[in-house]
Amino acid sequence: MDNTLMTNTRLEDNAKRFINEFCPEESTSTSMIVAGMVSIIKGNESDLERIKNQKWFERIWYTITGKNKATIKEMQARRNDLNRYLIKIISKLSDMVRTNSVQAAELSSAILTLDNEFRDMKVSVDKIARALNDKIISLDTYTFIINDIRNRKYPANKPLLSLIDIMSQLDNRTAKDLNRLRQLKETMENSGFSFSSKINAREYAGQVFTLPEEKVGRILLFCQNLSERSRFLAYTCNLIENYFYLGQTDRDIVRSDEAIRDSLRISRLSDDSYCIVDNMYVDLKKAIPERFSQLSLMAKAGKISACIIGKSSVGKDDLFHVLKEYENFNVKPIHFEPGCSEENVKKSIKNKEVNCVIYCVDVSTGKFEKKESEFIKSLSNSFPMLKIAIALTHCVNKSMGHKLVNYIYNETGNKPICVLAKNFVASGDITVSAFGVDDLVEEVRSM
């Protein structure tokens, strides 16, 4: 059961079904579920314990294993499969929030958290970042937030929590506009908010426990992304996770002390710890624009502008025609002769026309010349940030390039990818299917 369910196509279908059931459009539970997925991927054992009995997680676990219930040990053992499916769900959600830019901004918090934690997921994470970045650029929540503050939609007697609630909704243009941020603070002060207030940790916990359910997931995602900057934001995460992931009966039991005690301990705070509201405002005013900039950089980093280099008849054109169909993959073939075209390639790199070089070697010749090796080393030395991939072309079967792979790897430090860019008719009705291009693209994007 595991093998069939974990194929990419089946994961895609199951992700769609999961979203339709647990994350329908306008659902207030979606952001809470996404925050839970982030916690699972990060793998903190206490988070796993809290989440493993949630109905939405039981459905995810059943998809992967065919079983409803999971132990912590089982979750840790199947972590790669679990993470792969969770990323697939988040990716499908990012595709589906075409009209909901606010939800796109919430998802961006999750993706930024994962990018900080898991570089081995970078290909998938960058792809989602590109989709989300385009959707939040047009978001403008400023006027609505100002009107809601004036209409007393945010309680002034809970200034710290209200501030975090408000700041978690800021859009890209407001976050980078100092005049808007100043007016937002003035509007809050005119509506009775005291920025000089010292908020005690236990007092604050009681306020967090009264959050409306529809706000919990958004605030959790926001605080997850910025928790490393502030112990009080980390404390907010822990309070929400220790309380809102419980059933109603258990909430009544733990509310008085257990959730607070555990959250204080995990966040390295004490009963007499406090936060000054204005200090939090200053920290968030700096952190939120950086968050949007980071998402933009991730989106740009995922775009590949590559030149395909190689001698005549090594298969550059075949590879070019396949690669140009890949999303965010701009390519151009360059004929290569050691010495004569090196400066043209370097000039293009200096002009920032390309950020990747794919060097093609015809595996059927069994040759990789010293001049080629020296050229690759020269590129690497001249441009340390340049992505350099080596493709062994015309590779009718993966085993035929084994010796050349090892030789090139030893010479250059780059491990070649065996590629057959288009189907090859061996004889009669025997056709070898194309392979390796997906591996090449993933290798380039993960560099």
Q: Which CATH number covers residue 410?
A: 3.40.50.300
Distance CA 445, CA 125 (A): 11
Res. 180: pLDDT tops 60:
yes
Res. 118: pLDDT tops 80:
no
Q: pLDDT class for 184, splitting at 50, 70, 90?
A: very high
State residue 3's pLDDT score. 42
* Residue 110 located in a structural domain: no
User: Which of residues 66, 81, 97 is at a domain's end?
Assistant: 97
**Residue 57: which domain range?**
2-97
* Residue 60 located in a structural domain: yes
81, 149: one domain:
no
Which residues lie across from 207 on neighbouring strands? none
Out of 286-295, 343-352, 355-364, give the one with best mean pLDDT. 355-364
Q: pLDDT class for 427, splitting at 50, 70, 90?
A: confident
Distance CA 321, CA 317 (A): 6
Number of domains in the chain: 3
**Number of other residues whose CB lies within 10 A of the CB of residue 404:** 22
12, 75: one domain:
yes
User: Which of residues 299, 330, 359 is at a domain's end?
Assistant: 299
The average pLDDT across 188-214 equals 95
276, 311: one domain:
no
266, 369: one domain:
no
State residue 447's pLDDT score. 67
219, 251: one domain:
yes
State residue 46's pLDDT score. 77
295, 335: one domain:
no
Is residue 89 within 8 Å of 37, Cβ to Cβ? yes
Res. 113: pLDDT tops 80:
no
**Alpha helices, DSSP H only, in 192-341?**
201-208, 213-226, 231-244, 248-254, 258-267, 277-301, 316-323
pLDDT tens digits along 385-424: 788 899 999 888 777 778 888 899 888 888 888 988 888 8
Mean pLDDT, the chain, as a whole number?
A: 82
Is residue 307 within 8 Å of 335, Cβ to Cβ? no
What are the angstrom distances between the C-alpha of 335 and each of 340, 372, 418, 444? 10, 13, 20, 21
Is residue 115 within 8 Å of 38, Cβ to Cβ? no
State residue 182's pLDDT score. 94
Percent of the chain at pLDDT above 70? 82
Residue given tokens 């690497």 in the structure block:
380
* Residue 214 located in a structural domain: yes
* Residue 114 located in a structural domain: no
* Residue 245 located in a structural domain: yes
151, 294: one domain:
yes
* Residue 29 located in a structural domain: yes
State residue 99's pLDDT score. 45
